[in-house]
Amino acid sequence: MEVHSNNNAFEFTGLNNFKKSEKMNKKNKSIINRGTHTLRPLGNLMKYLLISAIIVIGFQSPIQAQEVQYETPSWRFGIAGAADANFFQGTTQQLTSSLMAPQAFGHGNGIGLFLAPSIEYHRPQSLFGFMIQAGYDSRRGTFDQVMTPCDCPADLSTELSYITIEPSIRLAPFRSNFYLFAGPRLAFGLDKSFEYDQQVNPDFPNSSQPNNVTGDFSEIEKTQISMQIGTGLDIPINSTSSRTQYMISPFISYHPYVGQTPRSIETWNITTIRAGVNLKFGRGQRIESYQPVPVAAVEPLPTVNFTVNSPENAPAERVFIESFPIRNYLFFEPGSTSIPNRYTLLTRTQATDFKDNQIAQLNLASSSSRPAGQMTVYYNILNILGDRMVKNPSTSITLIGSSERGVQDATAKAETVKTYLVDIFGITASRIQTEGTTRPNPASLQRQTGDELALLRQEDSRVTIESSSPALMAAYITGPDTARSVTSRSAQEAPADSYVTFNVDNASGIFSSWRLELDDETGNTQNFGPYTEARVSVPGSSILGDRKSGSYNVTMIGEIRDGRTISRESSIEVVRWEPATMEYGTRYSVIYEFDNSTASSVEERFLIDVVAPSIPVGATVRIHGFTDTIGTANHNLRLSQARARNTRSIIERGLASISRTDVKFEIEGFGESSTRSPFGNTHPEERFYNRTVLVEIIPAN
């Protein structure tokens, strides 16, 4: 169908968008319904655990009047129920050996059920223990809807589930009810079914509706070995006067995608966050027996709440002053000649006041991660270029548009960029030349890769900025402006918020006085007090003496007015307060081309002439390689490692040329890791910057 008039084209496009929107709304409702269905058994489980807890508390109430006391059980048995929040990444397209979807599915998510009996061993007041859970584990979810080549919406969901065995080491760092756990996860496949649904093109509603396809994924791994790490809290729900003790333990755990690749083909992987509750019980050892005392003879001891807070007092922060390279590309959506709205576009008035050194602040990020503000720098590429051309009036540029639709469409992209620079920054039009080509140089689309073809085409729809003047596309440097406001505090005393605080609720109403006994790990005892107020703050230096840190068991001993005493115990880690300091390092980026592990001649000269001479004597150089998500995970891991090794060898050559052998190197490749990659992979700009090696220089002092 051809549309000749602009008005008709507008109406036709609007109708299409309306139909597609209506179809998507129906799909979203379907997803919501499926999500509700998933949560229903989980809700029933939580209701069952809550009712059980109430019954247990009611059953134990008559026993709480007994005098015999029991310690917290070492062996505990229970049942755990939780919700698995599953997040799909990678791609899958070959559903069965005879069925391939016309378009690859990528990201997705879903809520699954986890239900398992549990066994746990942890001696009271000890650091370590172990726990094991074995039961049903759902990794169900729905992939994001995709559009097939016929502009037909397609959906894919799965009821993937396993029988899981999860042994873990349990750590109680403060010898309290708070604990951490970590261990492997061994999963055996239970359900590998899927449902595939392809709708008709909304533009042709009378087309025949394809049948929904249900079945089992092929090439499913029968077993998986992955890992988990998490935290939990044991909350007693009955008295220690009962030998059989019950507790309810909310917990949350993280299951990274490593080892969670359901299939032996393609790159689909799953990351899971689990949140739930474990109802446990066990039998404690008898610790003391009391003779019955007539109720009228002695009043019961009052209830006392005693808490301790010891701040961490971290002494230093590491700051990186970074060189952020600006790539000479501006990317367009395929088929469009308008600058995408993710780029920052100014008015002429705003351009007059624009200063590129106001875009990014000092990078306080940790190693191998970068702030979102750095992509803000890139999305200001036209404004940075315009500002620099104003400051350098003798410079000129050539804009080369590329589009597989042809030279005319490519030239139109370049003209759009030129118009912005001329109209907004007042650049003389004769300083800007425009050209058009069907393929950029270098081109991302160098090979046919099936499901990755659309991403590569998106990267080739761009305008390349070329200039013989190095001042126009020079790297953007983040300076220590933020750090200048940080003044030295070496002469300051420790602030009040760094003190260790001890709290006894309503102390003046309960005690005539109270005191503290602190025992360190060597057996030394310190006494503080007596006190009458409810809150007392003690400087960490008074507790530590000459030490920088220490572990202490704290006993609060309070004397009530009839002469009897009440004691409560806790444990703390005390760290000496030190004045905050800033440790400076330098970070550089080395950009590599698509699927390439050899630095360009420009980047090689940069490493030899700029980076190597800037390394202080005795410094440590951390070199981390990365890739985007195009390609398999194993290939990208090897590619990132090769890039890191290539960067190191160039720096070593630069150091050798000036007779330097005092530098230490730490190199690692992270591939396409979603948790370590500098940026996301949604837009071409992010993927181009993920094809990088980060070089961090940390001085010896």
The DSSP annotation for 70-120 comes to EPPPSEEEEEEEEEEEEEEES-EEEEETTEEEEEEE--EEEEEEEEEEEEE
Phi-psi region of 166 (alpha: psi -120 to 50; beta: other; left: phi over 0): beta
Interval 232-270: pLDDT, tens: 999 998 877 788 889 999 999 999 999 999 999 999 999
Q: Is the dihedral of CA 632, 634, 638, 641 positive or negative?
A: positive
- What's the mean pLDDT in 610-637? 92
Interval 209-226: pLDDT, tens: 777 899 999 999 999 999
Share of the chain above pLDDT 70, in %: 81
Q: Which residues contact 172 (CB under 8 A, 6 or more apart)?
A: 122, 126, 127, 128, 129, 178, 179, 180
Q: Using CA atoms, how far apart are residues 231 and 172, in angstroms rounded to an integer?
A: 10
Residue pair 338/602 in contact (Cβ under 8 Å)? The answer is no
Which amino acid is residue 214, in one-letter code?
T
Which H or E element spans position 225?
A: strand 223-233
Residue pair 123/129 in contact (Cβ under 8 Å)? The answer is yes
Structure tokens at 511: 């005690």
Q: What are the beta bridge partners of residue 269? A: 89
* 3-class state of residue 592 by DSSP: coil
pLDDT of residue 482: 34
pLDDT of residue 233: 93
Residue with tokens 């597609």: 20
pLDDT of residue 627: 94
Q: Which domains, from first to last, does the chain contain?
A: 6-290 (no CATH), 326-474 (3.30.1330.60), 496-575 (2.60.40), 581-701 (3.30.1330.60)
pLDDT of residue 63: 38
Total residue length of the chain: 701
Q: Which residues contact 509 (CB under 8 A, 6 or more apart)?
A: none
Residue pair 624/599 in contact (Cβ under 8 Å)? The answer is no
Rounded to an integer, what is the distance from CA 154 to the centroid of its chain? 29
pLDDT of residue 166: 96
Interval 466-511: pLDDT, tens: 988 888 877 776 654 433 333 333 345 677 778 899 999 888 888 8
Which H or E element spans position 457?
A: helix 453-460
Instruction: Label residue 616 exposed, middle or buried (CB < 10 Å: 0-12, 13-18, 19+).
Output: middle
Per-residue CA distances from 529 to 507, 533, 537 (Å): 13, 11, 11
Structure tokens at 340: 């995408």
Per-position DSSP letters for 679-701, written without gaps between them: S-SSSHHHHHHHSEEEEEEE---
Residue pair 588/599 in contact (Cβ under 8 Å)? The answer is no
pLDDT of residue 39: 43
Interval 582-595: pLDDT, tens: 677 788 889 998 88
Rounded to the nearest 10 degrees, the angle between the axes of helix 407-425 and helix 381-391 is 60
CA end-to-end span of the chain: 71
Q: Using CA atoms, how far apart are residues 507 and 514, in angstroms rounded to an integer?
A: 8
In the 8-state DSSP scheme, what is residue 263?
B
Going by C-alpha positions, the residue among 323, 409, 359, 346 that lies closest to residue 589 is 323
Please provide the average confidence, as pLDDT, over all residues in the chain. 82
Split at pLDDT 50, 70, 90, the class of 57 is very low
Per-residue CA distances from 379 to 33, 424, 432 (Å): 39, 16, 20
**pLDDT higher than 60, residue 31:** no
pLDDT of residue 65: 40
Structure tokens at 679: 């940026």
Interval 182-199: pLDDT, tens: 999 999 999 999 999 988
pLDDT of residue 581: 67
Task: Output the pTM of the full model.
Answer: 0.43
Interval 394-422: pLDDT, tens: 999 999 999 989 999 999 999 999 999 99
Which of 56-70, 99-113, 177-191, 465-479 has the least mean pLDDT? 56-70
Structure tokens at 260: 């969670």
Going by C-alpha positions, the residue among 85, 86, 82, 84 that lies closest to residue 43 is 82
Interval 525-577: pLDDT, tens: 999 988 988 888 898 888 888 888 889 999 999 988 888 898 999 998 998 88
pLDDT of residue 46: 53
Q: Using CA atoms, how far apart are residues 185 and 254, in angstroms rounded to an integer?
A: 11
**pLDDT higher than 70, residue 22:** no
